[in-house]
Chains A and B, each alone.
Chain A
Amino acid sequence: MNQENILAVENLVMHFGGIKALNDVTFDIKRGSVSALIGPNGAGKTTVFNCLTGFYKATGGKILLSAGGKETSIIKVLGEPFQATDFISPFAFFARLKYKMFGGSHLVNRAGLSRTFQNIRLFKEMSVVENLLVAQHMRVNRSLIAGILNTKAYRKAEEEALERVFYWLGVVDLVDSANRLAGELSYGQQRRLEIARAMCTNPEIVCLDEPAAGLNPSETEALTKMIRVLRDEHNTTVLLIEHDMGMVMDISDYIVVLDHGEVIAKGGPDDIKSNPKVIAAYLGAEEGEEVTL
């Protein structure tokens, strides 16, 4: 297990038919950092996210997640096609069969990586508390018998889950809205609730897809504070996609810039700010003008 890097992406390639959305993307995310993935529209940021979180099966390359005391290959848990060698070794065969039958993006979450979505995906007709309880599904007492008989152990597990719910509601400042439907909340509240929900799965790294989109400046500032709380008090690594450059430069320790499916720059905020390739990608370079470092 890699102690320094929680996430290692190597030569990630993603093709949709003939479209090469990602071409050889390589970067590492340090444990306990706040990192950002930026780039112009259509650069492939969300595609990278979907590959990392297991919603797309990458065409090639490697994604290694070192969390929960073990190293998980994200592409492997999604279920890979059988290979000739599998038919010789039954062990490898069954491992692959297991992931083919029961694998999927939920295993990525169980390995310690959770995410939010660009277009908010809450359980709109469930209450705020229930949204956070669902997120703790893997941590509560799921025994049918215990639940139906309402045993002591079951009640204790539920109570603990509720305490965690109210802790996270406190962090995102939604305690007053605990018993409202998630769909009734305002846009900013929904964004915060989604982050709380992602945190309720007890991840080591949380991927936020445009968390500040649609927020006003003061809400963005509150969000920045919240992300710092996640990192400092919960030792959670944060990876985010964001278009609000002020916020990105403010909180990120490390920035990866994508353009046309390729990493064009990576480094600290100050390096990125002055990187001519990045400026060219965002503002556009003159035709024929060669951008050099």
Chain B
Amino acid sequence: MSQAVGINFKKSSIDALIAGFMALVLFGPIVGVVLDGYGFNTEFVRVAWMVAAVAVGRFIMSSFFQTEKGIAMAFRYANNDEGVEVLKPGHKSKMVWIIPLVIAIGLLVPFIASKYVLTVVILGLIYVLLGLGLNIVVGLAGLLDLGFVGFYAIGAYGLALGYENLGLGFWSMLPIAALMAAVAGAILGFPVLRMHGDYLAIVTLGFGEIIRLILTNWASFTHGPNGVSAPLPTFFGLEFKRRSSDGQTFHEFFNIPYDSAYKYMFIYIVLFAVVWAVLFIKHRLVKMPIGRAWEALREDEIACRSLGLNHVLVKLSAFMLGASTGGLAGVFFATYQGFVNPSSFTFFESALILAIVVLGGMGSTLGVVIAAFCLTVLPEVLREFAEYRVLMFGILMVVMMIWKPRGIVRVTRTGFAARKGVVK
């Protein structure tokens, strides 16, 4: 192919004009018309700036992609959907330094961020947990679960009702809720895991709805739509309230003035630790026999059975581990909100968690973390566009399915160094 090295400025100009016109259509009504009481002001300058920025940007981009470098770059990214890559044996990622960096930044966040930012990050981390849990079920084991929010609800209501009826606090409910969610996963899973694909998706969808309906209608136990209040975590028995009826509170013990942000700081730090623990366990699981069995089951169930793997138990273990992670997230959600009611556990939440897994890349841990933050933090940042959230998700999904059908982060597989074969 003969490379036309020269840049076709005519083409670039047309591109820029089209982009500018589209920006005008898009930003004109949104930015240019500002409501002021019952009337409105028109702000042409702001629109002009935005349209100009888009047009110039498009012109530069269009010109760049006509240079040799630009062509090479476009080509490289266009060929990026070739799927799974096996790493070389003994592969060490160059990005390892990023883990301590993220931990350090993460530990600093509660002390520098405002209370509002902190609550947003906590929400993001809760969705990271949910995403990781569902990633085991959908990404690794290949079981489409549309009712994941059921386990989330079990965790959240476990904390609220456990406190109300049995006096169990945050710390005792954390493991118990994980266990309860796992047991619920087993009870749901055992009869239905013999199904595949669509049938399983419908049954799990039903399960999520059943949980929500029980929470709404069993008013004598769950208080129905009125919801239940959930307790805050305690720091070695010290409460994070302004005043405590029994015992000391956190700020009294340390002799510091009361601040309602302390409880969020504490929840954040505990949650941060739990997320890292789950990340570590997940990282180990995929290299362990059970993780390999999950992925093998996703690839070919019949072959798995022919190799002596009990497909029902393997699926059940994925379901239970995923569910228990969802339960953990539920406990954090309840304590963070201080209150739970059934409207937090609608099908939309299940769809959102599934979107996190699909966007992040099936089976990819890093991708799920990034996607969870994108899908929970971005809507908070772009508060003005909150009504368009679902529309944005839809567009994002379509765009991803076209350009990166396998998720943001490419899945890699461990390579093994050759060794001397021995058979005993």
Known: A121-B302, A121-B306, A123-B303. 19 other contacts (CB 8 A): A55-B302, A104-B305, A105-B306, A106-B304, A107-B308, A117-B302, A125-B299, A126-B296, A127-B413, A129-B416, A134-B296, A138-B309, A148-B288, A150-B284, A163-B420, A163-B423, A164-B423, A166-B420, A178-B416
Contacts known (A123-B300, A148-B285); A134 close to B307, Cβ less than 8 A = yes
Q: Which residues of B contact A105 (CB under 8 A)?
A: 305-306
Contact A148 B281 (CB under 8 A): yes
Those of B66-101 within 8 Å (CB) of chain A: 83-84, 86-89
Q: Is the CB of B86 within 8 A of A181?
A: yes
C-alpha spacing A170/B308, complex, angstroms: 23
Among residues of A, the one whose C-beta sits closest to the C-beta of B194 is A104
Whether, in the assembled complex, B313 has its beta carbon less than 8 Å from a beta carbon of chain A, the answer is yes
Instruction: Tell me, yes or no, whether B290 is within 8 Å of chain A by CB.
Output: yes
Interface membership of A249, Cβ < 8 A: no
CB-CB nearest in chain A for B190 = A101
How many pairs of A and B residues are in contact by the CB < 8 Å rule?
Answer: 149
Instruction: For B257, list chain A residues within 8 Å (CB).
Output: none
Interface residues of B in 290-316 (CB under 8 A from A): 290, 292-293, 295-296, 299-300, 302-313
Distance A166 CA – B416 CA, assembled complex (angstroms): 10
- List which A190-208 residues lie within 8 A (CB) of chain B: 197-198, 201
In the assembled complex, which residues on chain B have CB atoms less than 8 Å from the CB atom of A125?
83-84, 295, 299
Report the bound CA distance from A107 to B311 in whole Å: 11
Chain B's interface size range is: 35 or more
Q: For residue A150, which residues in chain B have a CB less than 8 angstroms away from its CB?
A: 284
Contact A179 B86 (CB under 8 A): yes
Known: A104-B311, A142-B289. A162 touches B306 (CB 8 A): no
- Do A160 and B424 touch (CB < 8 A)? yes
Are B307 and A147 touching (Cβ within 8 A)? no
- 23 A–B pairs (Cβ distance < 8 Å), ordered by A: A109-B306, A114-B308, A121-B306, A123-B300, A127-B413, A129-B416, A130-B295, A130-B413, A137-B292, A137-B307, A142-B290, A144-B290, A148-B285, A163-B423, A164-B424, A165-B416, A167-B421, A167-B423, A179-B415, A179-B416, A181-B84, A201-B307, A201-B308
Q: A123-B296, A148-B281, A166-B420 known; A135 and B307 CB under 8 Å?
A: yes
User: Which residues of A come within 8 Å of B, CB atoms?
Assistant: 53, 55, 102, 104-107, 109-110, 114-115, 117, 121-127, 129-131, 133-135, 137-138, 140-142, 144, 147-148, 150, 160, 162-170, 175, 178-181, 197-198, 201
* Chain A minimum-CB-distance residue to B284: A148
Closest to A179 in B: B415
Q: What residues of B have a CB within 8 angstroms of the CB of A55 in the complex?
A: 302, 305-306
Give the docked Cα–Cα distance between A168 and B313 (Å). Answer: 28
Which residues of the partner chain A approach B309 to less than 8 Å between Cβ atoms?
106, 134, 137-138
Given A114-B306, A164-B423, A180-B86, answer yes or no on A134-B415 (Cβ-Cβ < 8 Å). Answer: no
